[in-house]
Amino acid sequence: MVFGTTAEAIVITDASRRVVAANAAFARITGHQEADVLGQDPDQLLGTGHDRDPSFYRQLLDPVGSAYWQGEITCRRASGETFPAWESISAVRDGDLRVTHFVAAFSDFTAIHVAEEKLNHLAHHDTLTGLPNRLLFDDRFERSIEQARRTQQRCILLFLDLDSFKVVNDTLGHTTGDELLRVVAGRLGDVLRRSDTVARLGGDEFVVLAGSTQPEDASHLAQKILNALRAPFDLGDEQIRISGSIGVSVFPDHGNDASQLMRAADIAMYSAKSQGRNRYQFFTEDMSERTHERMHMEQGLRRAIESDGLTVHYQPQIRLADGQVVGIEALVRWPDPDQGMISPMRFIPVAEDSGIIETLGIWVLRRACRDIVGLPTTAGGHMRLAVNVSVRQFMRDDFVARVLDVLSETGFPAEALELEITESTLQVIERSAGILESLKQLGISISIDDFGTGYSSLGVLRGLPIDRIKIDRSFIVDLTDSNDARSMVEAMLALGRSLRMDMIAEGIEHGDQAELLRQLGCNEGQGFLFSRPLPVDELRRHLAAVRRDNECGAP
C-alpha cells in the first residue's frame, strides 16, 4: 500500500541495476509506465548516471562501505523534458551482506527550484524599483575597489538622497511616493553609463558606483543626476517637482574600504543638504559633525545600558487560524531625557558598528526573560518569547553559556525562548552550525527574521536547525494590491512548507492582509492590526482583555 500510494517515485532494481518494479508515482512523474521500464537500467532511461561518480555503485556494493546515498540529480521524462529531483538510493543486502537489490526514491524539485530562483532574484534586487539592492551593490563595490587598487586607479561613490521626499509621502500617500521612487530609478538609469551601477539602499536613498573614473568626471555625473531630477514628475493627477542632494567620496582619497567610503559619501550628502539642497558635495576632512554626533550617541547608549535607562516593549504574535496570542517579540526602546524616544533605526546601527550590540543583546534577553517568565499565552501554555540576536553575539565563543546563564538566573524555560537571526547572517552562521545545534539541544527554537531581504540558499536552509521563518514586512504592505508581492509571499510559504518550517508574517496592518495570509497557509502574524509594541504592564492588560474576549466568544 505504501509503495503504491506514496508521492515519491520509487523504482526497485536487481543487483545488476535492471528494473524489477516501479510504483505509480514513478509513472506520474517520469511519464514511463512500469511495463515499459522492466528490465531496463534506470540511469540510462532517466539520464541520471552523469550526476554521480563512476565508482558510485561500487561503493554501495562494498560490504564495509555506505549502503545509502542521497543528493540532487537531473532527470529526463519520457517526453524528453528534464527536471531537478532529490533522490535517495539504498542497497538491499541479504543475510550474507550481498547486495540483492537497489531501491531508488526521488521527488520532483521543480517547484522548489522556481521558488528559490525567485528568492535569489529578490535577494539581489529591490522589489519596488528593480534596481540592485544593498547586497548586490556591496559585492560590486568591493570588486570595484579591488580592481582600482590593483590598477592604481580611482573609484567614485555617489550617495543620493531625495529632498523633501517625506513631504510627498505624508501629503500624497505612500502609493504616490512609491511611484515617484520607481520613476526616479528610471531616470537614474537613463543618465548613467553602462559601466556604472545604481542601487537603492532603502527609503529615498540611492547610491551610484562609477569605477575607473576621475573626480572631474564624478562632478559631471552628479550634475547630470541633479538635472534629471529637476524635470517635473507626472504621477497620475499630480505633477511633482523634487531635487536631490549628493555626497561624493573617492577611493583611495577618502577611504580604503567600502565602509569608509560609504560613510564619507553619507557625511558629504548631509553636508550638501545643510548647504541648501539640490547640490552635490565632495567629502572633506572637516565634515566631522555627523561623526561627532554618532560618537555622542554611542557614548549615550553605553550610559543608558549601564544605568538601566533602556526599556523593552513587546508585540504579540497571533495564530491566524483563531486569533489566539501564541508568542511575543521583544523590541528594545531608548527613552532619552533630552531627545525623547530615540528610534532603534538610529541607535541599533551605532550599536552594531561599535560592538555595543553584544552587551545590548544580552541586556535585552535578560530583561525580556525576567518580564515574561510565568506569563501564559491566551491559547494556554507558556508564552513564547522571541528575542533578536545579532551575528556578533552568535560568533562569541561563550554565547551559548551566556544564554544559559540568563535562563538560569531568570527561571525562564528554554523551550519557550526563540532566538531570531536575520537572513543576511545565515552564511556566517552556517560556519558555526554547532552553536545552533547546542541551542537546539537546550530546547531553544531558532527563527529567521526579515526573510526575503537577504540571501539564503536552499542548501543552507536545509542544513540548519531552523524552526520558523518570518516574512519581512516589505512584502506584506502591498500584499493585497500587488500580484508580484503576492507571488513572492506564496513562493516563501511554499518554501517554508517544503522545509517543514512554521511561517509568520510581520507588519500586518489591515484585516484583508491577515485574511489573505491565512488563506495562503501562513501560520502566524504580528503587526499593528493586532497590537502595537507594548510595555510589559500594558501587555499583561492586553493579554487579559484578549483572553476575556475569547472566553466570551467576541470576534
Residue range 13-68, pLDDT digits in tens: 998 889 999 999 999 999 999 888 999 988 888 887 665 665 666 667 666 666 67
Considering all CA atoms of the chain, what is the largest pairwise distance in Å, rounded to the nearest integer?
Answer: 87
Fold of 293-541: TIM Barrel (3.20.20)
Neighbouring-strand partners of residue 336? 340
The shares of helix, strand and coil residues in the chain, as percent rounded to the nearest 5, are 45, 25, 30
Residue 457 has pLDDT above 60, yes or no: no
Residue 110 has pLDDT above 90, yes or no: no
* pLDDT 10s digits, 274-305: 777 889 999 987 776 666 777 788 889 999 99
Specify the pLDDT at position 537: 93
For 424-437, give the DSSP string.
GGHHHHHTTHHHHH
Average pLDDT over residues 137-152: 89
Q: Is the separation of the CB atoms in 361 and 367 below 8 Å?
A: no
Give CA–CA dist 240/231, Å, rounded: 9
Specify the pLDDT at position 157: 94
Specify the pLDDT at position 214: 76
Would you state the cell numbers that stand for residue 426, as one nine-digit string?
545565515
Give CA–CA dist 98/88, Å, rounded: 20
Give CA–CA dist 373/375, Å, rounded: 6
Q: Is the separation of the CB atoms in 375 and 540 below 8 Å?
A: yes
Specify the pLDDT at position 91: 87
* pLDDT 10s digits, 337-369: 888 888 888 888 788 767 788 899 999 999 999
Q: Is the separation of the CB atoms in 163 and 243 below 8 Å?
A: yes
Give CA–CA dist 318/542, Å, rounded: 13
Class of domain 2-108: alpha beta
* pLDDT 10s digits, 367-383: 999 999 988 776 667 78
Question: Cα 114 to chain center, whole Å?
Answer: 17
Specify the pLDDT at position 508: 95
Average pLDDT over residues 98-122: 85
Name the DSSP letter for residue 541.
H
Q: Which distant-in-sequence residues (6+ apart) come within 8 Å of 248 by Cβ?
A: 156, 157, 158, 159, 215, 218, 219, 222, 265, 268, 280, 281, 282, 283
Among candidate residues 381, 530, 388, 458, the one with its CA nearest the CA of residue 117: 458
Specify the pLDDT at position 124: 83
Neighbouring-strand partners of residue 209? 157, 197
Q: Is the separation of the CB atoms in 410 and 435 below 8 Å?
A: no
What are the residue ranges spanned by the domains of the chain? 2-108, 116-287, 293-541
Neighbouring-strand partners of residue 505? 471, 525
* pLDDT 10s digits, 421-446: 876 566 555 555 778 888 999 999 99
Residue 142 has pLDDT above 80, yes or no: yes
Specify the pLDDT at position 418: 96
Specify the pLDDT at position 516: 95
pLDDT exceeding 90 applies to what percent of the chain? 40
Specify the pLDDT at position 217: 82
- List the alpha helices (DSSP H) in 81-164: 110-124, 134-151
Specify the pLDDT at position 161: 92
Residue 186 has pLDDT above 60, yes or no: yes
Pair type for strands 99-108 and 9-14: antiparallel
φ and ψ at residue 73, rounded to 5 degrees: -135, 170
Place 515 in a pLDDT band, splitting at 50, 70 and 90: very high
Specify the pLDDT at position 391: 75
- Which sign, positive or negative, has the C-alpha torsion 460, 462, 466, 469? positive
Would you state the cell numbers that stand for residue 187, as one nine-digit string?
531616470
Q: Is the separation of the CB atoms in 295 and 267 below 8 Å?
A: no
Would you state the cell numbers that stand for residue 163, as one nine-digit string?
529632498
Specify the pLDDT at position 63: 67
Do the domains 293-541 and 116-287 match in fold? no
Residue 455 has pLDDT above 70, yes or no: no
CATH code 3.30.70.270 for 116-287: yes
Q: Is the separation of the CB atoms in 157 and 163 below 8 Å?
A: no
Average pLDDT over residues 109-127: 82
Q: At what angle do helices 356-372 and 289-306 cross, to 10 degrees?
A: 40
Q: Name the average pLDDT for the chain.
A: 86
Give CA–CA dist 69/551, Å, rounded: 53
CA distance between the termini of the chain = 45
Which of 18-27, 148-157, 161-170, 371-380 ranks highest by mean pLDDT?
A: 18-27
* pLDDT 10s digits, 497-510: 888 889 999 999 99
Specify the pLDDT at position 57: 66
Name the DSSP letter for residue 383.
P
Name the DSSP letter for residue 67.
S
pLDDT exceeding 70 applies to what percent of the chain? 89
Specify the pLDDT at position 364: 95
Q: What is the pTM of this model?
A: 0.53
Place 10 in a pLDDT band, splitting at 50, 70 and 90: very high
Count CB atoms within 10 A of the CB of residue 110.
13
Residue 198 has pLDDT above 80, yes or no: yes
Pair type for strands 155-163 and 205-211: antiparallel
